[in-house]
């Protein structure tokens, strides 16, 4: 099965821009979706498709993709953005169309 | 309000069984594909199982294949996960999540846009 690789931890100064990346072969065929998870809470979808934000997600969140790498960018990070971020995609490398998550990136806002 | 509410978690001995339920409300449940996703204590998200809107297509992660069974009852707006032969490594918070997707000119995309709050399964003697 395919895997998605994320950096375990990233930090950003308050108000600055941070990029969180996700690498995997499946990203050559499928756009990643991105989820934010705060301690003790369920994940929340923040980006899907080429660069789509669900209703209620601030426009400082954006997504992009190139080759086997997907990126989530937070422009002007806020204290409330401190959370774990997970990428997700489909995986067609096996006999089925499974789903796969990256290992997650812990974002610290300094 | 669009909502998913999981139930059925608890403490079970290794080798035991549990049935999780997910009650959907606020949307046309029968039109949506659904997933179960779990998160072990202190760990990341792990996809567990997928079911199509009609229930005709089902996928499982290798880690649960042959032990877990996903099903749905569209008349009751409910999703289920029957978990048998439970192991300590199945200990996790289990979330149900609504799935969606689409395609652009060159790519497909998929996402899980609505999540429940989760139900905790603990496998221990």
What is residue B39's predicted lDDT score, i.e. its pLDDT? 98
Give the integer Cα–Cα distance in Å for B55 and B8: 21
Q: Is A92 a residue whose pLDDT tops 90?
A: no
Gap between the Cα atoms of A43 and A88, Å rounded: 12
**Which residue, among A106, A88, A93, has the nearest Cα to A22 in the 3D structure?**
A88
Share of chain B above pLDDT 90, in %: 94
What is the per-residue pLDDT for A1?
62
Return the percentage of chain A with pLDDT > 90, whole number.
87
- Whether the pLDDT of residue A60 is over 70: the answer is yes
- Interatomic CA distance for residues B120 and A51, integer angstroms: 33
Assess whether pLDDT exceeds 80 at residue B41: yes
By Cβ distance, the residue of A35, A42, A50 closest to B104 is: A50
pLDDT of residue A93: 77
- pLDDT tens-digit series, residues B86-110: 999 999 999 999 999 988 888 889 9
Give the residue from chain A lying closest to B45, CA to CA. Answer: A101
- Nearest CB to B111; choose among A33, A37, A104: A33
Interface of B with A in 53-112 (CB under 8 A): 59, 61-62, 95, 97, 100, 102, 104, 107-112
Q: How does residue A97 score in pLDDT terms, banded at 50, 70 and 90?
A: confident
pLDDT of A6 over the 80 cut: yes
For residue B112, what are the contacts with CB-CB under 8 A and spacing of at least 6? A33, A35, A43, A45, A88, B35, B37, B97, B98, B99, B100
Residues whose CB falls within 8 Å of the CB of residue B25, separated by 6 or more in sequence, listed in order: B1, B2, B3, B5, B77
B5 near A CB under 8 A: no
Determine what percent of chain B is predicted with pLDDT higher than 70: 100
At A59, list the tokens: 């426009």
Mutation site for A-interface testing, chosen from B43, B111, B112 by largest number of A Cβ within 10 Å: B111
CA dist A9 and A11 (Å) reads 7
Q: What is the mean pLDDT of chain A?
A: 94
């Amino acid at each position: 099965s395919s895997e998605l690789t994320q950096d375990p931890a990233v930090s950003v100064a308050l108000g600055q821009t941070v990029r969180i990346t996700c690498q995997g072969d499946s990203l050559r065929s499928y756009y990643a979706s991105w989820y934010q998870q705060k301690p003790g809470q369920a994940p929340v979808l923040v980006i899907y498709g080429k660069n789509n934000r669900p209703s209620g997600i601030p426009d400082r969140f954006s997504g992009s993709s190139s080759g086997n790498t997907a990126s989530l960018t937070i422009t002007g990070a806020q204290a409330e953005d401190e959370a774990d971020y997970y990428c997700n995609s489909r995986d067609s490398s096996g006999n089925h169309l499974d789903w796969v998550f990256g290992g997650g990136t812990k974002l610290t806002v300094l | 309000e669009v909502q998913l509410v999981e139930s059925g978690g608890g403490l079970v001995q290794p080798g035991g069984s549990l049935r999780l339920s997910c009650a959907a409300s606020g949307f046309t449940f029968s039109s949506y594909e659904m997933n179960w996703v779990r998160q072990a204590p202190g760990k990341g998200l792990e996809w567990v199982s997928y079911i199509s809107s009609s229930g005709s297509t089902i996928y499982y992660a290798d880690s649960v294949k042959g032990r877990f069974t996903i099903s749905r009852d569209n008349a009751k707006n409910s999703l289920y996960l029957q978990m048998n032969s439970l192991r300590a490594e199945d200990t996790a918070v289990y979330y149900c999540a609504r799935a969606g997707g689409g395609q652009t000119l060159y790519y497909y995309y998929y996402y899980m846009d609505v999540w429940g709050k989760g139900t905790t399964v603990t496998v221990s003697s």
